[in-house]
Amino acid sequence: MKIENLPNEFEKARPVMQKIEDAGFEAYFVGGSVRDTILGLDIHDVDIATSAYPEEIKKIFKKTVDTGIEHGTVMVIHEKKGYEITTFRTESGYQDYRRPDKVEFVRSLAEDLKRRDFTINAFAMRENGDVTDLFDGLADLKNHLIRAVGNPNERFHEDALRMMRAVRFASKLDFDIESETLAAIKSNSALLEKIAVERIYTEFVKMMMAKRPKQGILDMISTDMYKYVPGFASHQSELEAIAKIDDLNLSDEVSVWSLLSFEFGLDRTEITSFLKSWKASNDIIKNTEICTKAVENLRDGSLDKWAMYETGKDLLVLANHIAKMYGFAESDEELVSQYDALPIKNKKEIAVNGGDLIRHGIVKPGPALGKILYAIETGIVNGEFQNEKAELIEAAKKIVKE
Ligand code: ATP
Ligand code: MG
């Protein structure tokens, strides 16, 4: 197969490829960008694989960066853009179901393609658009199938993360997992426990934010994979409920975790421990707690001014998106205009600060100060007093008396 009109990303990289070929080596575009181009999807980054060893690449190009030289990757800078160029390699001796004991650089393209996970991820394309397809990936693309390269059982034993990746690509592309590959996932699902949670996290979130997460969730259930990722095992029915929701359209990681937390019925501390077990960042944990709370407020009709203020605009919109799935959302415009009408959006906008209160002799530094400032903050947000210095000083005096 030859692709005639290469997307711009490839065109721009052609001189890089040609330089490698002029030096007597092979160079191919590989991985997702080739797959997505054949499917007519947009691409972002192009990956390049070569028969040249890293040291040889560094001799060919003036400007290079050692981004991952131990795995054979060197970045070449061409017209201000970086291109990751990886030497063909084989991997062998996977003893712990997750990483190869040995990575070996080789000169053969076929060897490199053999170690790749799925037939549709194992294309190689010359700079002129010629596609190499050693494992009938083109047929699988046409039939919308995710099929392991080689024996799926062995491939999942080498690296169990590939099972999650199968589900992720099925969701991204709206493909089905081919039956032998699916059966192998079923019989090996427990191996997921051997995989670093950070790697599962990346694939899971990508799956949830892709085109067809419903199917991804159902695949995780039917293969039992859900039992081997943190915090899912006791929530089969909730996961099934999420899979029944049409058009999840999750645009943000926080909405993925908030939807799960809401559906699982987790309280604040449970959300923290759930997300800690996924090794989520503190930021993600905090925002998920806030967003989930706002979804509950929307459900209970308790989203007052203070709750909106504490949630913030972005998370309000995310929460409302989740509320839509359950049929208790407000209109986005209405919600945003209510939020925009709040007198202040954060503490920094308050017209007095602790120093002012101390200078006016209203309060001494200490815990009482924090309490008064909080009372002022809630008072402003709830419209009890205007955000003006003189009025707030008077209000503070009253608060102290009370
Ligand atoms: P995306 O568009 O989502 O980035 P991708 O196919 O480029 O999709 P990557 O995770 O970026 O996916 O991986 C790039 C390529 O490296 C894959 O297409 C595949 O050939 C290979 N690959 C990545 N991870 C694995 C793995 N765990 N086992 C085997 N091959 C892998
Ligand atoms: Mg990629």
Q: What is the CATH number of the domain that holds 210?
A: 1.10.110.30
pLDDT at 303 over 80: yes
- 116 ligand 1 Cβ < 6 A: yes
pLDDT at 119 over 90: yes
Q: What is the pLDDT of residue 102?
A: 74
Q: Are residues 379 and 365 in the same domain?
A: yes
Q: What is the pLDDT of residue 135?
A: 98
Q: Which residues of 135-166 are buried (b: 16+ CB within 10 A; e: fewer)?
A: bebeebbeeebbbbbeebbebbbbbbbbbbbb
Q: Are residues 233 and 271 in the same domain?
A: no
Q: What is the pLDDT of residue 112?
A: 96
Q: Are residues 79 and 130 in the same domain?
A: yes
CA of 249 to the centre of ligand 1 (A): 23
Query: Pick from 281, 201, 205, 298: which is nearest to 248 by CA?
Result: 205
Contact at 8 Å (CB) between 306 and 382? yes
- 164 ligand 1 Cβ < 6 A: no
Instruction: Provide the annotated binding site for ATP.
Output: 32, 35, 116, 159, 162, 165, 168
CA of 30 to the centre of ligand 1 (A): 9
Q: Are residues 38 and 151 in the same domain?
A: no
Tokens, residue 303: 């989203």
Q: Are residues 114 and 169 in the same domain?
A: no
Tell me how far apart the alpha carbons of residues 102 and 107 are, in angstroms, rounded to a whole number. 16
> Residue of the nearest CA to atom 30 in ligand 1?
116
Q: Are residues 271 and 378 in the same domain?
A: no
Q: What is the pLDDT of residue 265?
A: 98
pLDDT at 24 over 90: yes
Domain range enclosing 362: 349-401
pLDDT at 219 over 80: yes
What value does the mean pLDDT take over residues 29-49? 95
CA of 32 to the centre of ligand 1 (A): 6
Q: What is the CATH number of the domain that holds 265?
A: 1.20.58.560
Tell me how far apart the alpha carbons of residues 250 and 247 are, in angstroms, rounded to a whole number. 9
> Residue of the nearest CA to atom 7 in ligand 1?
32
Q: Which ligand is nearest to the CA of 32?
A: 1
Q: Are residues 2 and 104 in the same domain?
A: yes
Q: What is the CATH number of the domain that holds 115?
A: 3.30.460.10
Query: Pick from 133, 161, 121: which is nearest to 33 by CA?
Result: 121
- 231 ligand 1 Cβ < 6 A: no
Share of the chain above pLDDT 70, in %: 99
What value does the mean pLDDT take over residues 138-156? 97
pLDDT at 23 over 80: yes
> How many other CB atoms sit within 10 Å of the CB of residue 62?
8
The total domain count for the chain is 4
What is the identity of the amino acid at 185? I
Instruction: Provide the annotated binding site for Mg(2+).
Output: 45, 47
Contact at 8 Å (CB) between 308 and 329? no
CA of 46 to the centre of ligand 2 (A): 8
Residues 330-342: pLDDT tens digits? 999 999 999 999 9
Q: Are residues 335 and 382 in the same domain?
A: no
> How many other CB atoms sit within 10 Å of the CB of residue 16?
24
CA of 32 to the centre of ligand 2 (A): 5
Q: Are residues 189 and 226 in the same domain?
A: yes
Say what the pTM is. Answer: 0.93
Q: What is the CATH number of the domain that holds 392?
A: 1.10.246
What is the identity of the amino acid at 126? R
Q: Which ligand is nearest to the CA of 43?
A: 1
Alpha helices in 107-252 (DSSP H): 109-114, 137-142, 152-158, 161-173, 179-188, 197-209, 213-222, 236-244
Partners of 100 in beta bridges: 94
Contact at 8 Å (CB) between 221 and 167? no
Q: Are residues 327 and 395 in the same domain?
A: no
Q: Are residues 162 and 232 in the same domain?
A: yes
Q: Are residues 31 and 132 in the same domain?
A: yes
Alpha helices in 50-196 (DSSP H): 54-60, 109-114, 137-142, 152-158, 161-173, 179-188
Residues 56-93: pLDDT tens digits? 999 999 899 999 888 899 999 999 999 999 999 998 76
